[in-house]
Structure 1
Amino acid sequence: MASTGSKFTIFRWLCTLLGLIFYVGDIGSDLLLSVQYFRNGHVTWAALTLVFVLIASVCIQMFSYAWFKDDKKNEENDKDLSTCHLIGIHALQIGILTRYYQLLKKSFKALCSSKTQEEEPLRIFTLATDLSMLRMFETFLESVPQLILQVYIILEHNHRSNLQYISMAVSFVNIAWATVDYRRCLRRSLPYVNEMPSGIPTAVYLSYKVFTITPRILSLTLFIMLSTFSTLAMALIWLVATIWAFVENTEFCTSRVLEHLYRAVVGFILVFTFFNIKGENTKVPMTLYYIFIVCHNLAAPILLFLLKPESEGTDYFLPIIFFILLSNSLGLGFLGLYYSLLHPRRPEEDEVDGMEKRKPEPKTRLDRFLQI
């Protein structure tokens, strides 16, 4: 049975509500933290905290508006959402909240109705997958940079506050939640792949992502502590990843301008974790990617020790080195375990990150989403 044929359960409805709470909590805690920094005279920190929120919000609102317009042309969207309404809600930066409202409303009606049409679960899962994709964009454009910034402030400037810790905790939970929720939503929305099982496979996949993204955050923080000019090297990594997206010739958006923005966003995500951007065989690119990432992660504490030897006397240096080593090892271990034993695939399916060897030509937006 295709994953899209499954019903939208009460548990999934509650998970959607929980995702909304995480989203609001993440944005709200960062905004409060920005205000706190400003009141304490840390204008630069306040500005950076706020900038990350605004950049992520503007980007995802642009994609959300474009997808609403595309769906409206295909008569998949609510007819009461006129172009003026769409412009208004996205100009007010509440497009994601509108999507949450629509999903919660439609799925609740489906749960309460005893005569749900066959196409209704597919529509609901499509809404959920669109939302999960936007949430993942927001996570890597806002939550991950926020974590790097806050860890840098704590380690380099020894500035700590309860609100800081709350913001970091919510951002971390948001990263874990958005990554796994996107993976599960996408797989159950595509008819030619098996749905991702819950339980151990989901836990292992989550562990793989968490234990590879976390040392990435710490190593990039150490590079910034070594020199703020290391951000130029990060920009170079982003540029290379973006060029790869251009070389792969992604065809995700109907607008050329948005397609370029999409490739830039994908490039930014690839700075922190690997995604299959076209649903094709990625064994070699993934292997090369993680070889580079591990080497880059390990280079951070080594260079910090050689070029800034006074850091060795700090209370954080050895624990961070140990954690980077352990977390990288665990992350790659969970990666190998997941794709060798737990990855949902059919008997005839080729090892192409979960996609069949002869995958249908992309017909909908879902078919063009990041695949891993």
Structure 2
Amino acid sequence: MRTTRPFSYPAVDFLMTLLGLGLFVLDVVLDLVLLASLCRIGEFYLLTVLAVLLLVSSVLVQVFSWLWYRYDTDRPRTSAEAWVERAGLLGLCHVLQLAVFLRYAALVETALRSFGDRRTDLDLEGVSVYLTHDLNMLRLFETFFESAPQLLLMVLIIIRQQEAGLLTVAKAVGSAASISWTVLMYHRSLRSFLVDKTQQSYASSALYFLWNLLLIAPRVAALALLGSALPCLVPAHFLCLWLPLFLWAWLQRTDFMDSVGGEWLYRGAVALVWYFSWFSVAEGEPGRSLIYHAFMAADGALLLAVWWTLRDDEPAVFLAAIPLSYILGLLLKALYYRHAHPSLARLQAPPPDATARLIAHENDEVDSLPQPPVSDRCIEAPPPPTVQPNKRMRRLATNFYS
């Protein structure tokens, strides 16, 4: 049996993993409670919209997870994943919408095994890093497939009723925070490909979280105001924007998936994410980001103008609060890129003399990549990693830090 390098899953990251799993379960429970609540009060139109949203979102996430399992045949499987595949249950697991739970189970397994007997032929560090990257990407997709549209629906209900129950407000606030938090976790995953992580401070993470919240919230609010004036305009507006955004993703020649069909599905998903927030998919991040935000600012102004024309008695404070929030978000984003955004030059393999320093800090964040071993006359080098870095996330990191 081949023994891999010593690895202990960091306790803080293990707690964060359990917290993420708990929040995912809580979100599912709140979704079911909200569906029951809408049914009880007779809001069957909103009930249907929400049910379709949840179903489509979950199916898309399962498809991406299934494709990644098909692509990553060379990645070592955990015991949980291996048992599911040997039993021929992998497809059924995805049909039953359990892909995220399976991946969480695999990640928790690697953590628990790292706490116990470390003599194993499985590269626990490499597998845990790979699983963390895929989970963060799936959660990002789920956030913009489900949470962002659901937040739009919740805000629309609040505006229409001009009074909201505790559950509706809690779900809206939780969804807004969850969206920004998921984007932050995705960003931290990309940072794992950087050799130097000294700039990944709590301050920069808080700044990243805040500017995303200030950009996404006014976008959702503007769409909700449009829906409060004339509900049928929101799906029409989405279709009118999704197609050009989809074409823009195609023109950027994305290379994320390992199959042609999967790549087209990914471009469609990117267009859906762009409807709410910026997402870097190709090199040239600053220029494309400027084009995107200029376009979204113009679209937001148009949405507010239409709402102002059609509104009944909604307070005019929205007319000032939404643009101010978006402008503040852009200023904080510029501040982040000026002082806390790493450069592409740091996205590279460490020099041989730096590897000893990385090994000495083996208890760093779980998303740090395994590095090549260093030979020494006195100390036996650990064996090389058996799991290659997640190439999908590495491509996105290259684009994001270009």
Q: TM (normalized to structure 1)? A: 0.86
Amino acid at match of 1:225: S
Q: Distance in 1 between matches of 2:345 and 2:94?
A: 44
CA shift for structure 1 position 104: 1.3
Distance in 2 separating the partners of 1:32 and 1:219 = 27
Q: Is the 8 A contact 2:194 2:346 kept in 1?
A: no
1:365 aligns with 2:392: yes
Q: Which residue of 2 aligns with 1:259?
A: 263
Q: 1:100 corresponds to which residue?
A: 104
Aligned positions of 1:224-303 closer than 5 A: 224-227=227-230, 228-278=232-282, 280-303=283-306
On the 8 A contact 1:89/1:95 being kept in 2, the answer is: yes
Q: SS at the partner of 2:270?
A: helix
Query: In the alignment, is the contact (CA less than 8 A) between 1:10 and 1:111 conserved in 2?
Result: no
Higher relative contact order (CA 8 A, sep 6+): 2
In the other structure, the counterpart of 1:74 is 74
Deviation at 1:156, TM superposition (A): 2.1
Correspondence list, 1:339-358, <5 A: 339-345=337-343
Q: Give the 3 Å change call, closer, same or farther, for CA 59–248 of structure 1 in structure 2.
A: same
- Greater Rg over alpha carbons, structure: 2
Q: Secondary structure at the match of 2:272?
A: helix
Letter in 1 for 2:316: F
Alpha-carbon displacement from aligned partner over 1:157-194 (angstroms, at most 9, x marks no partner): 43622221222233223212211111112321x25675
Pair 1:196–1:121, CA change in 2 (3 A): farther
Which residue matches 1:355? none
CA deviation digits over 1:110-131, x for unaligned, max 9?
Answer: 2445668894322211100100
Q: Is 1:147 the counterpart of 2:148 in the alignment?
A: no
Residue type of the partner of 1:317? Answer: A
Q: Distance in 2 between matches of 1:157 and 1:196?
A: 45
Identity, % of aligned positions: 28
AA paired with 1:206?
F
Match of 2:280, SS? coil
Code of the aligned partner of 2:208: Y
1:140 deviation in Å?
A: 0.3
Give the 3-state SS of the residue equivalent to 2:277 in structure 1.
Answer: coil
Q: 5+ unaligned residues in a row in structure 1: which ranges?
A: 351-361
Alpha carbons 2:110, 2:127 under 8 Å: kept: no
For structure 2, the residue ranges without an aligned partner over 5 or more in a row are: 1-5, 349-388
Count of matched residue positions in the alignment of Structure 1 and Structure 2? 349
Structure 2 CA distance for partners of 1:162 and 1:252, relative to 1, 3 Å: same
Distance 1:140 1:346, change over 3 A: closer
CA distance in 2, matches of 1:196, 1:263: 31
For 2:159 and 2:172, the matched residues in 1 are separated by 14
SS in 2 for 1:344: coil
- Tell me how far 1:240 sits from its aligned partner: 1.1
CA distance in 1, matches of 2:122, 2:90: 28
Find the counterpart in structure 2 of residue 36 from structure 1.
Answer: 37
Q: What does 1:113-262 align with in structure 2 at a 5 Å threshold?
A: 113=117, 119-158=123-162, 160-188=164-192, 190=193, 194=197, 197-227=200-230, 228-262=232-266
SS of 1:317's partner is coil
User: Does the 8 Å contact 2:249/2:270 carry over to 1?
Assistant: yes
Shift of 1:195: 7.3
Q: Provide the rounded CA distance (Å) in 2 between the counterparts of 1:348 and 1:255.
A: 30
Query: TM-score, with normalisation over the residues of structure 2?
Result: 0.80
CA RMSD of aligned residues (A): 2.6
